[in-house]
Amino acid sequence: MTVEAARRGGEALGDSALRPDGVLKVTGEFAYSSDLWADDMVWGVTLRSPHPRARITGIDVSEALAVPGVHAVLTHEDVPGEKFYGLEHHDQPVLAIDQVRYQGEPVALVAADHPETARRARDRIRVGYEVLEPLTDARRAALDPSYPKVHGDRSNVVRHQPIRVGDMAHARRVAEVVVRGEYEVGMQDQAFLGPESGLAVPAEDGGVDLFVATQWLHVDQEQIAPCLGLPTGRVRLTLAGVGGAFGAREDLSMQIHACLLALRTGRPVKIVYGREESFFGHVHRHPARLRYEHGATRDGRLVYVDAEIVLDGGAYASSTSAVVGNAASLGVGPYEVPNVRLDAYGVYTNNPPCGAMRGFGAVQACFAYESQMDKVAEACGLDPVEVRIRNAVAEGSRLATGQVIDMPAPLAAMLEDARAFPAPPPTGTADVRDLPGGVSNTTHGEGVRRGVGYAVGIKNICYSEGFDDHSTARVRLETVGGEPAALVHTAAAEVGQGLVTLQAQIARTELGVRQVTVAPADTGVGSAGSSSASRQSYMTGGAVRAACEAVRERVIELAEERLGRSLPGASLHDGRVVAADGLAVASLAEVLAGRAVEETREFRHRRTTALDPLTGQGDSHVQFAFCVHRAVVDVDVELGLVKVVELAAVQDVGRILNPLALEGQIHGGSAQGLGLALMEEIQVRDGVVRNPSFTDYLIPTILDMPPMRTRILENADPHAPYGLRGAGEPPTLSSTPAIVAAVRDATGRPLTRIPVRPEHISCG
C-alpha cells in the first residue's frame, strides 16, 4: 500500500492512518532519547568489567575524582537503597559488589561536565580483579549438578519446565517413523538503532524525574525507586523518543545509574551509550541447544515428541523464566501431539545476559520443530505442507499443556494459502543485486540453485502463566475551539510499532470525534504494562476502548439530561450524539457545554493459570497467533551464499486495525527472522563478545531483504477487543525456519544451526 492510498483511507479504526512521527523520523527531526538536553546537565558514563567472571579485590576512585570537571564517582557503596534489581528475580546488582559475572557488567559511574572528561576519569578508576575461569557451558549448567555455580549457592537452573502428556513407552512402540535432530540457535541481538539513553532530573521534593526510552515505564519505576531508597511516587518517568526496542528495553540499563548520579550531583544527568557499549547494555536472545525426536505413523501423523531445550540465560535471570515457559508450552509447535515428553531449561552462565527478544522462547523452538516436521515429511514421503496440514491444530484442539484453543485457528487453510501463492519468476542474470552475493559480484548465475521452504509458528499473545496483566487508559472529552476533542493518556510505550496512531484511531471511532491528541506516556497515569508479547493493541487498545465507552456513557447521560428524555442505544458520530434511530439529537459541543468528561479504566484480559511444575499442564496463555511463511531462495552452491528471492506470509490477525502499520510489522518481523536465518549472531568466546559493532554484527540490508507477498486473514477472536490478535511477533518465528528449509531444498544440506554460514552450505 502506498502512503497516498493510506492518506485517502482516513483515520478511523481499520484505516491506514499515518503515524505522526513518520515524517519526522525519515527527515531526521524526531527527538530520540539520545537528543535530550538540559542546560545545566552533566554527563554520566559507566565503567564496565572487561572480564566475564572475576572477584573484585578493590576499587579506588580517588584519581578519577581528582580529574577537573568530575562531579561524582559512584560505586555499589553509593547505592542508598536496594543493591539488586531484576524483572523476575532481583539478582542483578545496580553496580557490581564483590564480583562480576559477565563481560560489560557495570562497576562504577562517573558524572562530569563533558562526556570526554567523564570517559577520561573513568579510565582512572582502579579496579582490582582476581580473574576466574568463566562458566560458559549452558548444557552442563542445566544438567550437571557438579558444575560450579554462577551465583554462590543458588542453582544454575533458573527454571526447568517439563511437559508430560500421554504414554511415551506406548507411543514409541506405536510410532512407525522416527526422526531425530539436534539444533543450535546462535545469540541474536535486537540491534535497535537508538542506543540506551535518558536524562534524569533531580526534583525539588527530593525525588527524580527520568526521561527515558523504555518498553514499560511502571516496571522501570518499581525497580528504580527501591534502589534509590525513594518511595515509588517520587520517581516519575516520562517516555522519551524510542529508537526501536524488540525486547531489549525490557530490562533496565542506565535508568538507576542516571538517577543515582542526578541525586548525588543535584544536576540533570544524561547518559547515552555508544554503539559498542550498547551491545553490553542490553540482554540478547537466548542462544539455545535443542534435541528433538519425533515419532509418527507412516502416513505422517505425529505420535510423540521427545525434546530437550537448553536456553542460555547468561549471568542474570532477566526474563529467562518466562522464556522457558514459552519454549516449553509452545515447544511442539501448532500441532496435535498425543504424547509429549519435553524438558526446557533456562540457566545461569557467565555469558552475556539474555532475556526478551521478539518471539521470546517461541523462536528457538520453532526452528527446531519445523526442521523436524520437514524430516517427518521426508521420512514419510510427503510434501512438507501436507505433513503440516495433517497435524495442524484447529479451533478446539488441545495443546501439549492441555489448554484448548478456544478461538479460530485456521492453520490448514493458511498452509494451503501459502502453497497457492504463485511461484516467483526465475531470477534474471542482468542485475547482480538479484543474485546471491549481490553487489559483491560473486556469481552471474552460474552455480545457482533455487529452493522453496515452508514453516509455521505459534506464538502466545499477552503475558501468560497467571500474571496479572493489565493496562490503564484515561480519556478526556472536551470542547477545544468549539470543536469536540479527545485527549488519550496512557503509560504505554510507543516503540515504533504504531501504538500512538492506533490509540487515536480507537478514540476517533469510539467517540465520533476527529480531533484526538495522545498525551506523552508517563507514570502520571496507571500502568499500561509492557510493549512486549505483541500485547499493546490488545491491552492498551482494550483500555482505551473501555475508557472511551465510559466517556461515551457519561456524554449520553448528559445528553439525556439536556434533552429530558432517555436515549437507549445512542452513539457518537461526527461530533454528534446519534439516537438509536440514526438521527442526530445534539452536538457534542452543546452537550458538553464547556465541561470536560474524563474517565480512567483498567483493562484486564481473561485469567490464565500457571503451568504445573511437574507436568506442564495449565491454561497458561491468553491468545494464540499464527503465521505461515513460504521462502524462495537462490543459493550459490559453490560459495555458500544465499539470496532470499521472496518471502510470502499468511497471517491471521483477527481484525485489521491499520493495514499499513500491520504490513510494516509483518515485513519487519520477517526481516528479523531472515537475519537470524542467515547472518545475525553475537560471537561469544569464553564469555567475551567478539563483534560488538554494526560492522561486524551483520543485520540484513535492503539488498538482503526481498519483496514480500502477504495474505492477511481476519478470523475474530471472540475474547479479544475488536476480535484482534497480536501481530508483531508471529512473523519472526516462521520466517527463519522457512528460509532454512528453502536452503536445504536447494542444497540437500542438513543445516542444523542458525545462522546458516557459507561453510555449512558448500565449503565445510
Contacts with another protein, residue ranges (CB under 8 A): 50, 116, 119, 276, 423, 425-429, 433, 435, 437-451, 634, 637-641, 643, 678-679, 683, 685-686, 688, 690-691, 695-696, 698, 700-701, 703-704, 746, 757-759, 762-764
Min separation Cβ 687 and another protein, Å: 12
CA distance 212 to 242: 8
* Between 333 and 700, CB nearer to another protein: 700
- Comparing CB distances to another protein, the nearer of 447 and 466 is 447
Q: How far is the CB of 637 from another protein (least distance, A)?
A: 5
Biggest CA pair distance of the chain: 84
With CA atoms as reference, report the closest residue to 758 among 632, 636, 637, 641: 641
- 53 or 489, CB closer to another protein? 53
* Distance in Å, CB of 264 to another protein, minimum: 26
Which of these, 279, 191, 262, 281, lies nearest to 224 by C-alpha position? Answer: 262
Q: Minimum distance between the CB of residue 442 and another protein, rounded to whole angstroms?
A: 5
Q: Give CA–CA dist 238/254, Å, rounded.
A: 15
Instruction: Report the residue number, 440 or 615, with the smaller CB distance to another protein.
Output: 440
Q: Closest CB to another protein among 14 and 447?
A: 447
In the complex, minimum distance from the CB of residue 629 to another protein, in angstroms, rounded to a whole number: 19
Return the C-alpha cell found at 505.
484511531
Q: What whole-number distance in Å separates Cα of residue 755 and Cα of residue 489?
A: 42
Q: For residue 646, what are the CA distances in angstroms to 631, 671, 706, 751, 758?
A: 6, 11, 5, 20, 20
Which CB atom, from 226 or from 700, has the smaller least distance to another protein? 700
* C-alpha grid cell, residue 652: 491471521
Crossing angle of the two packed helices 499-511 and 536-563, in degrees rounded to 10: 30
531 touches 493 (CB < 8 A): yes
Which residue blocks in 426-564 are alpha helix, DSSP H? 499-511, 536-563
In angstroms, give the least distance from the CB of 379 to another protein.
22
Grid look-up 527520568 returns 210
Residue type, 658: N
Q: Please name the amino acid found at residue 683.
A: Q
Q: Select 514 or 757, whichever has its Cβ closest to another protein.
A: 757
Query: Helix, strand, or coil here: 301?
Result: coil
Give one DSSP letter per residue of 108-147, joined into a string. Answer: EEEEESSHHHHHHHHTT-EEEEEE------HHHHHH-TTS
> Is the bond preceding residue 721 a cis peptide, omega within 30 degrees?
no
Asked if residues 254 and 44 have their Cβ atoms less than 8 Å apart, the reply is: yes
Are residues 732 and 673 in contact, defined by beta-carbon separation less than 8 angstroms? yes
CB closer to another protein out of 596 and 703: 703
Q: Between 146 and 441, whose beta carbon lies closer to another protein? A: 441
Residue 679 or 740: the one with the smaller Cβ distance to another protein is: 679
Q: Which is nearer to another protein, 604 or 690 (CB)?
A: 690
Rounded Cα distance, 319 and 88, in Å: 6
Give the nearest distance from C-beta 104 to another protein in angstroms: 11
332 in Cβ contact with 400 (< 8 Å): yes
Query: What CA–CA distance (Å, rounded) separates 642 from 649?
Result: 19
- Provide, rounded to whole angstroms, the least separation between the CB of residue 156 and another protein: 25
CB-nearer residue toward another protein: 483 or 686: 686
Q: Report d(CA 411, CA 304) in Å as an integer.
A: 20
As measured in angstroms, the least distance from the Cβ of 65 to another protein is: 19
Alpha carbons 525 and 489: distance in angstroms, whole number: 7
Coil vs helix vs strand at 537: helix
CB of 671 to another protein, least distance (A): 12
Of the candidates 306, 330, 292, 285, which has an alpha carbon nearest to the alpha carbon of residue 456? 330
Min separation Cβ 434 and another protein, Å: 9
Q: How far is the CB of 28 from another protein (least distance, A)?
A: 15
User: Residue 265 or 351: which CB sits closer to another protein?
Assistant: 351
Q: Please name the amino acid found at residue 605.
A: H
Q: How far is CA 728 from CA 335, 495, 739, in A?
A: 22, 12, 19
Q: Are 720 and 538 in contact (CB under 8 A)?
A: yes
- Radius of gyration of the chain from its Cα atoms, rounded to whole angstroms: 27
What is the nearest approach in angstroms of another protein to the Cβ of residue 247? 23
Minimum distance of another protein from residue 234's CB (angstroms): 37
* For another protein, the closer CB: 426 or 613: 426
